[in-house]
Amino acid sequence: MILVISTGNFMRIIFLTGLLTGIILAGCGVASRDQVKVDHYNLGKPEKFSMAESLLEISGICFYKGNSDTVYAIQDEEGKLFRLKWGVKKPLNAKFGKKGDYEDVAIVNDKVVVLKSNGQLFSFPFEESTWEDVDSTIEFKGLLPTGEFEGLYGDESTKRLYVICKNCIDDDKKHAVTGYIFQFGDAVSPVGTFQINVDEIKNYAGKVKRGFRPSGFAQNPITKDWFIISAVNKLMVVTDSSWKVKDAYPLSGNIFNQPEGIAFDSQGNLYISNEGDDLAEGNILKFKRE
C-alpha cells in the first residue's frame, strides 16, 4: 500500500508535530534552549541595543563605577574608546592608540584600562575619555605570559585588575584556565593568580570542545559570583568568589551571535556585547535582574 500525502497536509503534520513536541517538553519541565535562566537572569528575554557600523566588531564593555547612564566600549580593530547612551545609536569616541586587536576595557581608580589580545595593557585618565584625542596613554608590556587574552575586569573597591587567558602556552586549556591579578595605581603590580578548573565545567556542561576559551568575565556586584562567557564554546560559566564552578549554561546562537564582552551595573543588571557579521549588527543585550 502506498500512502499519498499532499504538500499542504505534510506541512500541517510537521507543524502539529512541532507543536505537540513543545507541549510535551513544557509539560515535562524542559526549558527551551532560548529560555535558559541563570540565577536571576532570563537569557531568553534580553533588551537589545543594536550598534552603529563603527561598533560592528564590539568586544569589551564596562561602566564607570557601575553607572549605566553611559556604556564604554571598544572594538577589536581601532584604538578608540567609544561611549554611548543606552538606545542612542551614534557613539562618541576618544582615540587612545594605534590600530590593533583590542579586546576588553575596564575603568578603575579614575583611569581607563584597555587590554590588547597579546596581553599588553593601555591606560589613560578617565577625564580624557571625552577628548577627541587622548594625549597621555601609558602602555604596559611584559606583565602577562605569551598567549591570547580577551578578558579584563577592574574592581573599583580594591583597585585591582583581573586578566584571564583565552589561549596561553602555560595552560593546558583542556584542564585549567589561568587568570592574573594586579594591583593598579601609578604602576601595575602583580599580586596573584587564579585558575578555573575545566573538569568542574564539564560536570555541568558535558564536553568542552577545544578546551575552555573565555572571551570576557565580570563579577556580579550583588552575589560576588564570577560570570565568564566564551564565544568559542557558546557557554556561560558561573563560579563563586573563589573561582569554584557553580554551573555552566549554553548560550543560544539565536540570541548570542558572538558574545565578547560582559558587564554588570550597580543594580546587578547583566549586559553582554556581541560582535556582528555580514548578516547581523553588533549589539549589547541587557538582562534585568529579576
Q: Would you give the end-to-end CA distance of the chain in angstroms?
A: 57
Supply the pLDDT for residue 231.
Answer: 96
Q: For residue 196, what are the β-bridge partners?
A: 177
- DSSP assignment of 50-105 equals EPPGGGTTEEEEEEETTEEEEEEEEESSSSEEEEEETT--S-EEEE-S-S--EEEE
pLDDT of residue 173: 64
Q: How confident is residue 8, by pLDDT bands cut at 50, 70 and 90?
A: very low
Q: How confident is the model at residue 31 (pLDDT cuts 50, 70, 90)?
A: very low
| Contact between 248 and 238 (Cβ < 8 Å) | yes
Residue 34's region, left for phi above 0, alpha for psi from -120 to 50, else beta, is: alpha
What tens digit of pLDDT does each residue of 79-94 get? 999 999 999 999 999 9
Considering only CA atoms, which of 141, 137, 139, 142 is closest in space to residue 126? 137
| Confidence (pLDDT) at 262 | 98
And the C-alpha cell for 101?
586587536
Provide mean pLDDT across the span 131-143. 95
Q: Which of 58-67, 127-136, 163-172 has the lowest mean pLDDT?
A: 163-172
> Residue 63 in contact with residue 107, Cβ under 8 Å?
yes
Q: Give pLDDT, residue 5.
A: 37
Q: Worst-scoring range by mean pLDDT, 38-52, 88-102, 163-177?
A: 163-177
Q: pLDDT grade, residue 36 (50/70/90)?
A: confident
User: What's the mean per-residue pLDDT of the chain?
Assistant: 89
36 alpha carbon, distance to own chain's centre: 17
pLDDT band at 180, cuts 50/70/90? very high
Instruction: Quote the pLDDT of residue 270.
Output: 98
3-class SS shares of the chain: helix, strand, coil, % to 5: 15, 45, 40
- Cα torsion 288, 76, 166, 276: sign: positive
Global pTM?
Answer: 0.87
DSSP 8-state secondary structure symbol assigned to residue 127: G
Percent of the residues in the chain that have a pLDDT greater than 90, as a whole number: 80
Q: Are 62 and 97 in contact (CB under 8 A)?
A: no
Q: Which residue has the cell 575596564?
A: 106
- pLDDT at position 25: 37
**How many residues comprise the chain?**
290
For 187-246, how does the pLDDT look when each residue is reduced to its tens digit (9 = 90+)? 899 999 999 999 999 999 988 888 899 999 999 999 999 999 999 999 999 999 999 999
- What pLDDT does residue 1 have? 38
Look at residue 250 and give its three-state secondary structure: strand
Where in 92-172 does DSSP place strands (E)? 92-95, 102-108, 111-116, 121-125, 138-140, 147-155, 160-168
Identify the residue with better confidence: 9 or 278.
278
Determine the Cα–Cα distance for residues 172 and 198; give it in Å rounded to an integer: 10
